Amino acid sequence: MTKNFRALFYISTLLVLSFNQTKAQKTGNFIKASIGFASSSSLYIENYGQQDEVDVMGSGFYTEGEYVFGITSWFSVRPYAGIILTSPDKNPELQNQPQYKVNTRAFLVGGKIRLCAPIPWVAPFIETGIGASIGSFETFTPSHNFNKSDVLMHIPINLGLAVGPKNNIEIAVSFYVHPAAKQSTGVFAAGFSFPID
């Protein structure tokens, strides 16, 4: 019986919070700017779980700007443009092997949607969408050799928190998956949004 009351309490609390007048993101139009650290990696860890496992990575810089259409307090549409610049990390364990590397130098453009919990001060959110990456991509591993300057599709997936009294400061972990190049880029970034209405 206690479990039923506890479950009822949790459900009631979530309902009250979801209908609370405090909004995690305001409605209207905003500009958001982000900057952070980027790390590109192969989609596959070579020889996973074996003694000769190889995790090929590159690191660098990330920045992005978004035009935000805040439709409701929990849903927004976000066209974006950004830049990812990573270069290969040196791996001293690969001295007797070819120099495996993952390298991304691309301009990003696309659109995302955001679902955000309407919670004051600390509001978790999730985003996804689709976009195009224009630039050069290199994935050289034991099983893949991709090296092109091209326009490739990418899929953004973002998880983060909108913090502060107006929820206009953001901390997020983002992933940009480039299936054709057999690589993905993970990003740790901070952002700030301001209204333009």
Residue 91's pLDDT band (cuts 50, 70, 90):
low
Does residue 16 carry a pLDDT above 80?
A: no
Alpha-carbon distance of 75 to 66, in angstroms, equals 15
> Could you tell me which residues come within 8 angstroms of residue 132 by beta carbon, excluding any fewer than 6 positions away?
108, 109, 110, 151, 152, 153, 154
pLDDT at position 18 is: 47
Give Cα separations from 2 to 5, 11, 12 (angstroms). Answer: 5, 14, 15
> Could you tell me which residues come within 8 angstroms of residue 169 by beta carbon, excluding any fewer than 6 positions away?
162, 163, 190, 191, 192
pLDDT at position 176 is: 94
Alpha-carbon distance of 153 to 177, in angstroms, equals 9
pLDDT at position 23 is: 45
The answer to whether 43 touches 185, Cβ cutoff 8 Å, is: no
pLDDT tens for residues 25-74?
567 789 999 999 999 988 776 555 455 556 678 899 999 999 999 888 88
Does residue 180 carry a pLDDT above 90?
A: no
